[in-house]
Amino acid sequence: MLTQLDEIEKTALAALASAQDETALEAWRITHLGRSSPLMQVFDQLGKLSKEERPAIGRRANEVKRALEGAQAERLELSRQLALARSLQSERLDVTLPGRPFPKGRLHPSTQILRRIYRIYAEMGFQAYRTREVESDEYNFELLNMPPHHPARDMWDTFHTSSPGVLLRTHTSPGQVRVMREYYPEPIRVILPGMCYRYEQVSARKDIQFNQVEGLTVGYQITFSDLKGTLTDFARRMFGEAVRIRFRAAYFPFTEPSAEMDIECFLCEGKGCGVCSGSGWLEILGCGMVHPVVLRNGGYDPEKFSGYAFGMGPERIAMLRYRVPDIRYFWTNDLRFLEQF
């Protein structure tokens, strides 16, 4: 049987020399190392041999098996190297061809318009001041002249949390009291940007979450004319000198007198559409003189100090600036929309 093993090894190695590719090598493996191969049959017959012959035959059979497996591995690696060389020779890379375009990320349109708002107000001397999105009932309502059960609270559809007195802020106005308490008794000129949340019906002009930029100025002899001048200058810098604006009387519990500022709807050019509810105008902010109660809650004496405040919606401004017909586009993450900016 030792002679038979020598013959099996010699025959298998001779056949291996003629295998040129991976397919032929796999066929060789099945023939000479597979379950039905002559070598495996020798292993099957070991149990029939005498105790004296079995160690020598078993040792020689394992030597043949290792030799054939090693030779196959070397031949397989050589075959792969030859295939790679042929591929490199026949499939040369033309480095002069232009590369594939790589898609680049870009700023979200809301971020773009926010940065433009920041820049405009920075040129006017305003500083940015960040405040928290999760607020207390005290700061969101009570300190803004809305005690418990005040009917004006119904103007803000509020997301309440499971913790009593803790809610998602409905506007950035709570930051007014926080910044006044921090800056007192210095004059103030700040903007307070951030995300707000309201539980209301989603439509082409309203959503349950939106950015807002609050503005606050407190000092000596601040008048409503200062407020109108600041906001008019802002509108002209944002939309151009020819922009048409209007102020309408309004009610907010934390300002008195109060107003809303409208911009002529660029989508329909004042003729009326679904975005402006057929009025030809789109409200972009509410404003007014800071209520004496709010000034006092912030630490300022309303007999000596006065101030104005405003809160604007950047998405509304972006709708006008870029002629976007639906505010919901800003949060659906549709690349067909976002890639236009």
* pLDDT value at residue 58: 74
Sorted by sequence, the CB contacts under 8 Å of residue 24 that are 6+ apart come out as 18
Helix (H, G, I), strand (E, B), or coil: what is residue 247?
A: strand
H/E stretch holding 252: strand 245-252
**pLDDT digits over 152-174, tens only?**
888 888 999 999 999 999 999 99
- Does 188 lie in the same domain as 113? yes
- Return the C-alpha torsion angle 319, 325, 330, 332, nearest 10: 180
- Does 210 lie in the same domain as 86? no
- Does 200 lie in the same domain as 164? yes
Domain range for 42 is 2-90
**pLDDT digits over 249-289, tens only?**
999 999 999 999 998 877 777 677 766 777 788 888 999 99
Count of structural domains, the chain:
2
Which residue among 90, 120, 147 closes a domain?
90
In the predicted model, what is the mean pLDDT of the chain? Answer: 86
Whether residue 1 has pLDDT greater than 70: no
Establish if 97 belongs to a structural domain: no
Percent of the chain with pLDDT over 90: 43
**What average pLDDT does the segment 282-308 reach?**
94
- Does 131 lie in the same domain as 7? no
Cα separation, 259 vs 249, whole angstroms: 4
Q: How confident is the model at residue 327 (pLDDT cuts 50, 70, 90)?
A: confident
Establish if 78 belongs to a structural domain: yes
- Does 139 lie in the same domain as 70? no
* pLDDT value at residue 127: 95
- Does 291 lie in the same domain as 217? yes
Establish if 96 belongs to a structural domain: no
Cα separation, 195 vs 193, whole angstroms: 7
Q: What is the torsional sign of CA 197, 200, 203, 205? A: negative
Sorted by sequence, the CB contacts under 8 Å of residue 257 that are 6+ apart come out as 224, 249, 288, 289
- Does 249 lie in the same domain as 196? yes
Establish if 232 belongs to a structural domain: yes
Cα separation, 117 vs 128, whole angstroms: 11
* pLDDT value at residue 213: 95
Q: How confident is the model at residue 133 (pLDDT cuts 50, 70, 90)?
A: very high
- Does 219 lie in the same domain as 149? yes
Asked if 157 contacts 170 with a C-beta cutoff of 8 angstroms, the reply is yes
Sorted by sequence, the CB contacts under 8 Å of residue 251 that are 6+ apart come out as 152, 258
Establish if 100 belongs to a structural domain: no
User: According to the per-residue pLDDT averaged within each range, which of 22-36, 71-85, 208-222 is highest?
Assistant: 208-222
Both structure tokens of 265? 């709807």
Which residue among 27, 57, 90 closes a domain?
90
**What average pLDDT does the segment 136-155 reach?**
91
**What average pLDDT does the segment 85-107 reach?**
79
* 284 CB neighbour count, 10 Å cutoff: 24
Q: Of the given ranges (89-98, 122-131, 228-237), which has the lowest mean pLDDT?
A: 89-98
Asked if 214 contacts 175 with a C-beta cutoff of 8 angstroms, the reply is yes
Whether residue 311 has pLDDT greater than 70: yes
DSSP assigned state of 221: S
* pLDDT value at residue 275: 66
- Does 207 lie in the same domain as 84? no
Looking only at the bridges linking them, the beta strands covering 127-128 and 188-197 are: parallel
CATH number at residue 220: 3.30.930.10
Establish if 301 belongs to a structural domain: yes
**Model confidence pTM above 0.95:** no
Residue that is written with structure tokens 């030779």 in the block: 71
Q: How many residues does the chain have?
A: 341
Which residue among 25, 58, 90 closes a domain?
90
**pLDDT digits over 189-241, tens only?**
999 999 999 988 877 667 888 899 999 999 999 999 999 999 999 999 998 89
- Does 319 lie in the same domain as 256? yes
Establish if 130 belongs to a structural domain: yes
Cα separation, 108 vs 332, whole angstroms: 12
Cα separation, 271 vs 255, whole angstroms: 32
Sorted by sequence, the CB contacts under 8 Å of residue 178 that are 6+ apart come out as 131, 139
- Does 196 lie in the same domain as 138? yes
- Return the C-alpha torsion angle 93, 96, 101, 106, nearest 10: 130
Measuring CA to CA, which residue among 154, 134, 173, 135 is closest to residue 310? 173
Helix (H, G, I), strand (E, B), or coil: what is residue 192?
A: strand
Establish if 143 belongs to a structural domain: yes
Cα separation, 262 vs 284, whole angstroms: 6
- Does 117 lie in the same domain as 79? no
